[in-house]
Amino acid sequence: MTTQCSPAEPLCIGTRGSPLALAQAEETRDRLMAAHGLPQDAFRIRVIRTTGDAVQDRSLAEIGGKGLFTKEIEEALLSREIDIAVHSMKDVATLLPEGLVIDTLLPRADVRDAFISSRHTGLEDLPQGATVGTSSLRRRAQLLAVRPDLRVVEFRGNVQTRLKKLETGVAEATFLACAGLQRLGRAGLGIPLSVETVLPAPAQGAIGIERRVDDARAQALLAPLGDAETAACVAVERAFLAALDGSCRTPIAALARVSVGGLSFRGEILRPDGTERHTAEWSGPEADAAAAARALGESLRERAGAGFFG
């Protein structure tokens, strides 16, 4: 059906077809063009429909989570239909298929979540018992932890769909990653929430580029694009996530940041209804951070006890 990419041909960039995914693929292409002085036709963007895109009516947690947005794309990489794939690292499972690697992380955008509402200016401003929309288990739990009175309804679809739902009164507010809004040119819609109130998802705001391990051309092209600070922080957040499981039914948040003398890290797990929250913090040399985050993940798991995620 599709032709394979050969070294003389344009580099094929695989992506999902959502407006955000396309914006991320274009950003990657533009960075490659700038880094190597190449024309636009040295690249091709190929849209790949994933199982996750096809499912609109059920919660993602219900049908199996993260891998749903990457499976078909990874198959296209392995069968050489595409050469590189651009991902929101937040949506990438902690284990990659054999033969593939993500070792290029673009400089991270704003890591925070944003509050979006046409009538209200922030979480504190929402009336008692207000309805908010989100499909994220993490956001649901974090919101209920600070505002147990809120009614949380399932809210899926892209930014445009969600805004329409707000307009039609399905909910009074919703929450999206600042990074996604920025990449869609819609940053003005949201009010950023402090990470103290709403700790972001592991790897939020980071774009990772996946390739075949043995593809020297892709490796050489990608080399100048990587941001070491982003890679270090995302690796630590994903180590925490990996230690915790990753069942996608678990509300997990994590953020690592470069600080004086190394990295500082905060991670948390919550009960889905927000009634319990376990937090862990660490700071120290970068070289120790991934192991520390893994250990924190394991200790939080123990602290929470069996049945916590139930």
**Would you say 91 or 210 has its CB closer to ligand PBG?**
91
Span from 27-35, 177-185, 219-227, 233-241 in contact with ligand PBG (CB under 6 A)? 177-185
What is the arrangement of strands in the sheet containing 100-105, beginning at the earlier edge strand? 43-47, 11-15, 84-88, 207-212, 100-105
DSSP, residue by residue, 55-100: --SS-HHHHT-GGGGTHHHHHHHHTTS-SEEEEEGGGS-SSPPTTE
Span from 173-181, 208-216, 259-267, 271-279 in contact with ligand PBG (CB under 6 A)? 173-181
Q: Could you say which of 83, 91, 113, 215 is catalytic? A: 91
Q: What is the C-alpha separation between 196 and 142, in angstroms, rounded?
A: 11
Q: What is the H or E stretch that residue 176 is in?
A: strand 173-177
Q: Nearest distance from residue 310's CB to ligand PBG, in Å?
A: 23
| Selection from 52, 48, 42 nearest residue 2 by Cα | 48
Does the active-site annotation cover 125? Answer: no
**Would you say 142 or 204 has its CB closer to ligand PBG?**
204
- Restricting to residues 195-214, name those near ligand PBG by CB under 6 A: 204-205
| Selection from 80, 67, 66, 89 nearest residue 226 by Cα | 89
Q: Does residue 102 belong to the site contacting ligand PBG (CB under 6 A)? A: no
Task: Please give the single-letter amino acid code of residue 258.
Answer: V
Q: Does residue 268 belong to the site contacting ligand PBG (CB under 6 A)? A: no
**Would you say 82 or 86 has its CB closer to ligand PBG?**
86
Residue selected from 105, 137, 179, 290 as contacting ligand PBG according to rule CB under 6 A? 179
Residues near ligand PBG (CB under 6 A) are 88, 90-91, 176-177, 179-180, 204-205
